[in-house]
Amino acid sequence: MAPTIAMQVIDLVRRAELDRGAHVREQWVADSLDVSRSPVRKALAYLAELGLLVREPNRGYFLNRSASELAHVELSADDDVEERAYFSLGDDYLTGRFADEFTTADVARSYDLSPRQAERVLARMEREDLIRRRSGRGWEFQQVLSTAEAHDQSYRFRMIVEPAALLEPGFTVDAETFALHRKQQETLLRGDALLLPRGELFRVNAEFHEMLVGCAGNTYLLESVRRVNRVRRLVEYRHQADRQRLVHQAREHLELLDLLESGERERAAEYLRGHLDEVRERKTRLG
């Protein structure tokens, strides 16, 4: 419930055109959204955890971004008809409710899309290497992870490859690239973990890990991680609902950057392996 109310709070802030530092009063939110104060209290705490609000003892919550800073964010992205169809199609395929082979007309009919909308959804999936055109007619899914066991194996593979990449003799910290990724992780802590669409959140996370491996200067290691990221994309999208977890993940990514910039590569490799193992256990839930 908290994430849903939180989205409504952000939309309320935008409509009220509040400035940074404005007092976001619990009763005002409850009255404006016509809900009780209990879910509002949880939503405000959730937004504070994500960095969009600041809680001051005995005073309440204050806005950490102005309405104008939030104006460019499309909060309804997940409710867009094509966005919904994109994720529904992927989820239906993973759960066996949609065929391996299909046509554009099948997608349009199944997800209540116009032919043009269906074409755009499929074009996006093709760009992301999720589907490919069949030699005859229609489309088919590429190899993707579809079971908990396969997902678990992908993380165990990454636990071998990614920490090893940090210990490669050719590993070099790229200061400019590190600064760029540091900024991206910090924006997640300031609220983007809640505001960004699922696809963008996956991209930011995947590119962070690919960047670390890329610093090893070993093409084979990098290509192997990129390949795993391509095949795990759909199953990872299903884990983006818990956006509060992404805040903890961003903090650990920043810790990794600190260790590597300090030259502590062995500690960083150990930390990275533990980071991946923790995420693996939480996402696959095996045993």
Q: Residue 116 burial by CB count (10 A; 0-12/13-18/19+): exposed, middle or buried?
A: exposed
pLDDT tens-place string over residues 14-71: 888 889 899 999 999 988 888 888 888 888 888 887 778 899 988 999 998 888 776 5
Task: Tell me the three state secondary structure of residue 133.
Answer: strand
Question: Would you place residue 162 in the very low, low, confident or very high pLDDT band (cuts 50, 70, 90)?
Answer: very high
Share of the chain above pLDDT 90, in %: 43
Whether residue 69 contacts residue 20, with contact meaning beta carbons closer than 8 Å, is answered with yes
The first and second tokens of residue 197, run together, are 């669409």
Q: Is the pLDDT of residue 206 over 70?
A: yes
pLDDT tens-place string over residues 258-283: 999 999 999 999 999 999 999 998 88
Give this prediction's pTM: 0.67
Share of the chain above pLDDT 70, in %: 91
Q: Across 42-146, where does the E strand assignment appear?
A: 53-56, 60-63, 101-102, 131-133, 139-141
Amino acid (one-letter) located at 252: E
Residue recorded with tokens 């209540």? 112
Q: Distance between CA 108 and CA 121 in Å, rounded? A: 10
All structural domains of the chain = 2-70 (1.10.10.10), 77-141 (1.10.10.10), 148-284 (1.20.120.530)
Q: Distance between CA 28 and CA 38 in Å, rounded? A: 13
Q: Is the pLDDT of residue 74 over 50?
A: no
How much is the pLDDT for 70?
67
Q: Residue 91 burial by CB count (10 A; 0-12/13-18/19+): exposed, middle or buried?
A: middle
pLDDT tens-place string over residues 3-22: 567 778 888 888 888 898 99
Please state at what angle helix 175-187 crosses helix 243-261, rounded to 10 degrees: 150
